[in-house]
């Protein structure tokens, strides 16, 4: 039988995975290869692009070999990737001119401040790209490479160098150098892409001193990106789905239309709400970004995005620094051993508070401690702090979009915690849907590829595959929820002051 599967190449910040997905959207198997995190100086983070490539190729080939698959068995490949991470390479040799500058890297913070700190430039960038100027996005990372790698600027100006986010570099390598392309979701995270006009913005390219010849072609997220043509790899498999990780997860959660939202509970939390064909301006400093679209939509679709800096990481902290738990999973049983936190609140503002508070200088607090406070209360307060922060974000997003999120789709490591999910539903007074397959990022890439190559017919077919969710429904009376939320707001106020 041919075309039995689609494969997602799930290129993350710490590992590359190849995921085999069948027609019922089940994850049949995956192979994961970690790669080196390079920290050349405090605040700097790099990856070796070729190590990323080989970890991705290695996981792909091992998966194919393990299941005895040939090119004919694979209908298409979808790629989802860590966003913003910046690679510049010489297409005549395939050699990167330097290590990739990773999204977390802060080396260009000063550069961004110099170029964009005045109100007019900030507004220019915000209005064109939907982003607030920051070193996080690709633009200043490219500038840094051109200015600091000997000879790079001259070579770039002569048209001898290419830029890409990780998706683009992988596509270029996988197609044997034939395709230099990205998709709108990745482009929208570079701070160089005009999300309203759907093109690289010449004014911004000029501001950052980046020759337009370096920039990849932007193709629809679900559509052709060429086919595999790499020595030793099965040839001729279509690459036909591409999205940045968070947008891939939104798509994998079947959030295809306005008002649908997902939250990923990982180290941090990422909340994205689909806003249809409207690019919503945020009054709460959330970012406006492009959502991945199914084929045939015919217009750009947008999303609002916000993040919680410390999500599941509060459990890591309770495990590694406080020694309150042995594993993150253990937090559920400990928290369930008490009916509530006994009035204790943990505000994990380790690196400041994000939306809607935006207090960069705030630091964490624990308040409401009494002589009766024990380990269970603290762990429970830690878990609840994740839900409160997400609730604040949901509220800010709904206000921005003038829309009510009826059902929150959840995924990520910490979404496995039933107590946390129930508390989230209670505090938000919303339904939560947790899919059986919480690998929604890989699933989103697979969906985008599968739709493009006809493996699945349409988004209705994809939705029908989601029948077996776990559902969490609010069971807390509103006066109790209000009381708890007042306590949280009070704790946040103390944190800020
Ligand atoms: P990432 O992709 O950001 O590395 P994951 O989605 O793998 O993160 O989720 C891991 C995070 O979730 C960790 O911070 C961990 O502490 C937390 N976590 C994992 N399982 C649980 C659980 N059962 N309860 C609470 N937190 C959890």
- Distance from residue 349's CA to the centre of ligand 1 (Å): 18
What's the confidence (pLDDT) of residue 104?
Answer: 86
Within 8 A by CB and 6+ apart from 53, the residues are 169, 170, 173
Range in 5-9, 130-134, 352-356 with the lowest mean pLDDT: 352-356
Q: How many helices (H) and strands (E) are present in the chain, helices listed first?
A: 16, 23
Summarize the confidence of residues 253-272 as an average pLDDT. 94
- How far apart CA 9 and CA 248 sit, in angstroms, is 12
Percent of the chain with pLDDT over 70: 99
Q: Taking residues 134-162, what's their average pLDDT?
A: 96
| CB of residue 101 inside a 6 A radius of ligand 1 | no
What CA–CA distance (Å, rounded) separates 131 from 302?
13
Peptide bond before 333: cis, by omega within 30 degrees of 0? no
Are 43 and 103 in contact by the 8 Å Cβ rule? The answer is no
Q: Look up the pTM and report it.
A: 0.93
**480 in contact with ligand 1, CB cutoff 6 A:** no
Mean pLDDT computed over 260-288: 94
pLDDT of residue 232: 87
Ligand 1: which residue has its CA nearest to atom 25? Answer: 414
Strand-pairing partners, residue 31, are: 18
DSSP state of 180: -
For residues 458 and 462, give the distance between their C-alpha atoms in angstroms, rounded to a whole number: 7
CA of 316 to the centre of ligand 1 (A): 8
Cβ(469)–Cβ(484) below 8 Å: no
What integer pLDDT is reported at residue 24 of this predicted model?
A: 93
Ligand 1 in contact with 100 (CB < 6 A)?
Answer: no
In the block, residue with structure tokens 């309150």: 324
Residue 200 CA to residue 184 CA, distance in Å, equals: 10
Compute, in angstroms, the gap from residue 238 CA to the centroid of ligand 1: 33
Greatest CA separation found in the chain?
70
For ligand 1, mutation pick of 315, 329, 424 (most atoms within 8 Å of CB): 315
In angstroms, the CA 453 to CA 439 distance is: 21
Ligand 1 atom at minimal distance to the Cα of residue 12 = 2
Q: Please, what sign has the CA dihedral across residues 208, 209, 212, 213?
A: negative
Contact 475, 110 (CB under 8 A): no
343 ligand 1 Cβ < 6 A: no
Residue 409: CB within 6 Å of ligand 1?
Answer: no
Query: Is the CB–ligand 1 distance for residue 313 below 6 Å?
Result: yes
* Structure token digits, residue 221: 């997220």
Alpha-carbon distance of 137 to 424, in angstroms, equals: 30
Range list of β-strands (E), 116-236: 162-164, 181-182, 193-194, 199-200, 217-218
Q: Are 245 and 257 in contact (CB under 8 A)?
A: no
For ligand 1, atom 15, the nearest C-alpha belongs to: 312
Q: How far is the CA of 412 from the centre of ligand 1 (A)?
A: 7
Q: Whose CA is nearest to atom 1 of ligand 1?
A: 266
pLDDT at 477 over 80: yes
Atom 13 (ligand 1) nearest CA: 312
- Residue 455: CB atoms within 10 Å: 22
**Cα 488 to averaged position of ligand 1 atoms, centre (Å):** 22
What pLDDT does residue 156 have?
Answer: 97
- 14: pLDDT confidence band, cut at 50, 70 and 90? confident
Structure tokens at 58: 């290695």
pLDDT number for residue 257: 94
Token couple for 70: 């040939």
3-state secondary structure of 195: coil
**Cβ pair 66, 19 in contact under 8 A:** no
pLDDT-derived band at 356 (thresholds 50, 70, 90) equals confident
Q: How many CA atoms lie within 13 A of 285 on its CB side?
A: 13
pLDDT value at position 466? 80
Per-residue pLDDT, 410:
96
The beta strands (E) that lie in 258-312 are given as 261-265, 269-274, 287-290, 302-308
Q: Ligand 1 mean position to 328 CA, how many Å?
A: 7
Distance in Å, CA 413 to ligand 1 centroid:
4
329 ligand 1 Cβ < 6 A: yes
Regarding the beta carbon of 442 and ligand 1, being less than 6 Å apart is answered no
The pLDDT mean for the chain works out to: 94
Q: What is the three-class DSSP state of 319? A: helix
Lowest mean pLDDT among 162-166, 243-247, 281-285: 281-285
User: What is residue 43's predicted lDDT score, i.e. its pLDDT?
Assistant: 86
Which of 460, 459, 458, 469 is closest to 407 using CA atoms? Answer: 469
Assess whether pLDDT exceeds 70 at residue 467: no
- The total of other beta-carbon atoms located within 10 Å of residue 372's CB is 9
Decide whether any atom of ligand 1 lies within 6 Å of the 312 Cβ: yes
CB 336 near ligand 1, within 6 Å = no
Show the DSSP H helices in 402-458 as ranges: 418-428, 440-452
* Binding site membership of 179 for ligand 1 (Cβ less than 6 Å): no
In the predicted model, is pLDDT for residue 116 greater than 90?
A: no
Q: Report pLDDT for 1.
A: 55
CA of 128 to the centre of ligand 1 (A): 34
Q: Work out which ligand 1 atom sits closest to the CA atom of 313.
A: 14
Interval 40-96: pLDDT, tens? 988 889 999 999 999 999 999 999 999 999 999 999 999 999 999 999 999 999 999
Q: What is the pLDDT of residue 355?
A: 81
pLDDT tens-digit map of 382-437: 999 999 999 999 999 999 999 999 999 999 999 999 999 999 999 999 999 999 88
Residue nearest (by alpha carbon) to ligand 1 atom 21? 414
């Amino acid at each position: 039988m041919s075309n039995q599967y689609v494969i997602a190449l799930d290129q993350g910040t710490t590992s590359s995975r190849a995921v085999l997905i069948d027609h019922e959207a089940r994850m049949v198997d995956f192979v994961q290869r970690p790669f080196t995190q390079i920290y050349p100086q405090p605040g700097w983070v790099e990856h070796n692009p070729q190590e990323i490539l080989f970890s991705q190729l290695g996981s792909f080939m091992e998966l194919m070999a393990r299941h005895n698959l040939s090119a004919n068995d694979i209908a298409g490949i979808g790629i989802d990737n860590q966003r913003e991470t910046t690679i510049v390479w010489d297409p005549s040799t395939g050699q990167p001119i330097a290590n990739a500058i990773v999204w977390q890297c802060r080396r260009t913070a000063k550069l961004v401040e110099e170029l964009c700190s005045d109100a007019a430039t900030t507004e220019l960038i915000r209005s064109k790209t939907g982003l607030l100027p920051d070193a996080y996005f690709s633009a200043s990372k490219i500038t840094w490479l051109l200015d600091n790698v000997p000879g790079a600027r001259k070579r770039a100006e002569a048209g001898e160098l290419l830029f890409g986010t990780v998706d683009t570099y992988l596509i270029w390598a996988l197609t044997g150098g034939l395709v230099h392309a990205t998709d709108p979701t990745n482009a929208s995270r570079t701070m160089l892409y005009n999300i309203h006009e759907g093109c690289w913005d010449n004014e911004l390219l000029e501001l950052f001193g980046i020759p337009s010849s370096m920039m990849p072609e932007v193709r629809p997220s679900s559509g052709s990106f060429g086919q595999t043509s790499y020595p030793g790899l099965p040839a001729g498999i279509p690459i036909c789905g591409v999205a940045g990780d968070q947008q891939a997860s939104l798509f994998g959660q079947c959030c295809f239309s306005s008002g649908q939202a997902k939250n990923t509970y990982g180290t941090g939390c990422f909340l994205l709400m689909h806003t249809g064909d409207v690019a919503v301006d945020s009054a709460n400093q959330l970012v406006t970004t492009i959502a991945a679209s199914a084929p045939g939509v015919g217009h750009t679709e947008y999303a609002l995005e916000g993040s919680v800096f410390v999500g599941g990481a509060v459990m890591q902290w309770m495990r590694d620094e406080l020694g309150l738990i042995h594993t993150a999973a253990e937090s559920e049983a400990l928290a369930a051993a008490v009916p509530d936190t006994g009035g204790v609140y943990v505000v994990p503002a380790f690196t400041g508070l994000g939306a809607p508070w935006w207090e960069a200088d705030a630091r964490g607090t624990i308040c409401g401690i009494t002589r009766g406070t024990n380990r269970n209360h603290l762990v429970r307060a830690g878990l609840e702090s994740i839900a409160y922060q997400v609730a604040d974000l949901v509220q800010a997003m709904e206000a921005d979009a003038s829309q009510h999120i009826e059902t929150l789709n959840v995924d990520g490591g910490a979404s496995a915690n039933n107590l946390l999910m129930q508390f989230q539903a209670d505090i938000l007074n919303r339904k939560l849907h947790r899919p059986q397959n919480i690998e929604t990022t890989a699933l989103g890439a697979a969906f985008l590829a599968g739709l493009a190559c006809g493996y699945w017919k349409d988004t209705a077919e994809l939705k029908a595959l989601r029948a077996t969710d776990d559902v969490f429904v609010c069971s807390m009376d509103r006066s109790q929820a209000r009381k708890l939320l007042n306590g949280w707001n009070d704790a946040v106020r103390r944190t800020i002051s």
